[in-house]
Structure 1
Amino acid sequence: MLIVTLAFVVLLLMGMPVAFAIGVSGSLFFLQHPGLPFTIPVQETISQTQNFALLAVPMFIMAGNLLNRSGITSRLLDLATVLTGRLKGGLAQVSVVLSALTGGVSGSAIADAAMQSRLIGTEMIRRGFARGFTAGVLSFGSVLTPIIPPGIGMILYGTIGQVSIGRLFAAGFVPAFLLWAALASSIWLTARRRGYQPERTERASLGELGTSLRRGIWALLFPVFLLLGLRTGVFTPSEIGAFAVVYALIVGVAIYRELKPGTFFDAMESSLSDIGSVMFLIALSAIFSYGIIFQQVPDLIAGLMLGATEQLYLAIVVIAIFTLAAGFFIDATVLIIMLTPTFLPAIERLGGDPVHFGIVFIIAATVGNFTPPVGAAMYAVCSILKCPVGDYTRESLPLFLAIALTTLALTFLPGVVLFLPNLIFG
């Protein structure tokens, strides 16, 4: 697997698209083992797309695109302004809350960062926020998105690792709140030092709060309905994706009445592009994964970890650091697909809870989207706001530190992560 891994890295550095880099490098494994039929890569690629549980991925992607075009985002922006408008940092604080509120809508950190950059990024700069600070807040704030249901990373991790997706969904809420608190505190300290003013000068009245809650209630209820559906057994993880699409259509057409034929077809076009790229990546990853399993890499990693340390939390920290470092060069989706079958068995052998590990692992993988040299969310935000990467990196360090410390605390406090899933699912 060493040659395969080196080939993957070289192909990435050459600029080959990630999916093709995975497929080509994975195929080299079969050239190294002539005894294996070369029909296996084709069979593995096709069989991966037949995984019934993965039906949830295209369904949630489609639901997210429909909801984003149904008028929900503007309503959630109003609610976020009412909730945090008086905090120092103004629109910066609003953007982090908006990431939390839209987490149940988009499910993608990159999509959320790009959307917010177009929605409020330019206005933040116009109001005096430093360009690098603006880009950093809009990028790192979207770390909340993939751990609030229905984060695509959770679905991939749960499907590949055979972990309860319902428990993963429930486990994301408390860590998301703690990450928001850490980011809000970091923004508050910067705003106090630089004199960034609150968005509102007066406290929101109960009437304003009630109006904003009423306008955004259908987006807030979305993750609640997902959890209730899974907990009561009304839906399986795959079926609840179809429910999400129906829910998005009802909200957009019958309730908000902003999903017109033009915006519907636009959402379908975006969904086809997103689904095609994600599912193609998943399909070709089966070739790479076959070699990992054939060479018993998970058992090797588990043996090395058990030999090096019997401390579960130390092992999780090491994996989180490795994942974070790998995320500097590889997209979070790829990391979750490739590393879950390698690291999860090792953690389970050490007695770790797969849901607790999954949340820490997904956060560590997601942060790579916001960091140089290849962070997709970073480049999306910097491109939209015309922000130099150097300015972005320098201004983002306090935000990165806030997320790192919170993730470290979550590693050593599994009860915090598991409290809600244990309460709901037992």
Structure 2
Amino acid sequence: MLLSFLVFLSLILLGMPVVFAIGIGGLVFFLTQPELQLIMPVQLALAETQNFSLLAIPTFILASNLMNELGVTRRLLLFAHTLTGFLRGGLAQVSVLMGFLMGGVSGSAIADATMQARLLGPEMVRRGYSRGFIAALQGFSGLLAVAIPPSIGLILYGSIGQVSIGQLFAGGIGVGVLMALAYMLTVAVLAQKRGYLPESPIPPSGSALRKALRESFLAVLFPFLLLATLRFGVFVPSEVGAAAVVYALFVGFVYRELSWERIRRALEHSVRDVGMVALLISMAAVLGYGMKWEMFPQKVSTFLLEAIHNPQIALLLILVSLLLLGTILDSTVMIILLTPILVPAAKALGIDLVYFGVLMVLTCAVGLLTPPVGLSMYSVCSVMGCGLGEYVREGWPFLLATLLVLLLAYLFPGVVLFLPRLLF
């Protein structure tokens, strides 16, 4: 198994696409085990795509792309602008609130960050915001999509680890709200120092708020409907994604933006996104079988139980390790590979699996915005045309705010568990 990991890491460092590095690493394991047949990697890869619990992923991805195509994004932007445009650094505050609202639509941090950079970036440049600040702001605002339902990361963790997706969704909301508040406070402090002005001189009137909410109500309602249908047993997680697709089509019909061309574009994007995730899951199944064969999850659990008797210290060690690992591995890959190892360890330590899952997924996602492999970081820097040095210089306050929220959630589990306990 050690040789497989060394091959995997070497290929990553050489720049090979992650999915092929995982597959080759898994194949190396089977080549070094004469008692295992070489037909097994093919069977494992195909069998993993037939996992019923993963059915929620393609349907949620399709629902997200449909809502993006059918006018939801534009209406959420209008609502966010009405709500926060009067604050200092108005467009920056709009970006944070937009990230929070879009998290309930896209479920993808990279998609959110890229979309917002394209949507708001040019206007923010005209208003005097630096390109590095805009890139960092949009990148970290996109991170809110990892916490707010329907987070793809939480769906992956829940499906692979056999943890309630409904409770994970509820747990992510509390941390997502704290992160949004922390980013808005960071923006307010930076805007005060740099003289970024509000978009509107006065707070919105009641009638303006009601009008903006009325026009975007169906979009804002989406994550709450998800939780309600899961809580009252209307749908199971594999069904609620399909219901979300129907809801997205309904929203497009109500907004009079439903057309065959937009549906075609949403299907195109969804096929690409689902193909990428499915291939990752398939290849991870091959490497994951090697971990199970070598009893790696049990060895990790035994080590943590024997070496560290305090569950909170063990959890802190795991989270710090994930934070460091996230600088060289994509968060989706980490969740797929490490969930089968870390869930048994957390269970053995007596750590609540919903609490652990929310912290694990968010900690892994921080790597999307840190050098050298941060995919969101490269995406927003490319859109905004800024260098990595400028991005890092402007982004450290947002990184600090993110780490402080994660520390707060680690120290006070109620931040994560309050809503799951209340609703479930």
Q: TM-score range by the shorter chain?
A: over 0.9
Question: Matched residues in 1 for 2:215 and 2:297: separation?
Answer: 48
Partner residue, 1:145: 145
Shift in Å, 1:350: 1.2
Cα distance per residue 1:90-112 (max 9 Å; x no partner): 21111011011011110000000
Shift in Å, 1:269: 0.7
SS of the counterpart of 1:423? helix
Partner residue, 1:241: 241
CA RMSD after TM alignment: 1.0
Question: Matched residues in 2 for 1:262 and 1:366: separation?
Answer: 33
Is 2:98 aligned against 1:92?
no
CA contact 1:317–1:408 (8 Å) conserved in 2: no
Cα distance per residue 1:234-285 (max 9 Å; x no partner): 1111011110111111111x20111212111111111111111111111111
Question: Matched residues in 1 for 2:262 and 2:66: separation?
Answer: 8
Question: Matched residues in 2 for 1:221 and 1:298: separation?
Answer: 40
Count how many residue pairs are aligned between Structure 1 and Structure 2: 424
Q: Which runs of 4+ in 1 moved over 6 A?
A: none
Partner residue, 2:156: 156
Partner residue, 2:382: 383
Question: Matched residues in 2 for 1:312 and 1:119: separation?
Answer: 44
Unaligned runs of 5+ in 1: none
Partner residue, 1:82: 82
Structure 2 residue identity aligned to 1:244: A
Partner residue, 1:19: 19
* Aligned positions of 1:10-409 closer than 5 A: 10-252=10-252, 254-409=253-408
Question: Matched residues in 1 for 2:315 and 2:206: separation?
Answer: 44
Q: Structure 1 length normalisation: TM-score?
A: 0.98
CA contact 1:26–1:288 (8 Å) conserved in 2: yes
Q: Structure 2 length normalisation: TM-score?
A: 0.98
Question: Matched residues in 1 for 2:193 and 2:94: separation?
Answer: 18
SS of the counterpart of 1:199? coil
Question: Matched residues in 2 for 1:209 and 1:34: separation?
Answer: 68
Is 2:420 aligned against 1:411?
no
Structure 1 residue identity aligned to 2:124: M
Shift in Å, 1:131: 1.0
Shift in Å, 1:407: 0.0
SS of the counterpart of 2:250? helix
The alignment-based identity, stated in percent, is 49
Shift in Å, 1:152: 0.5
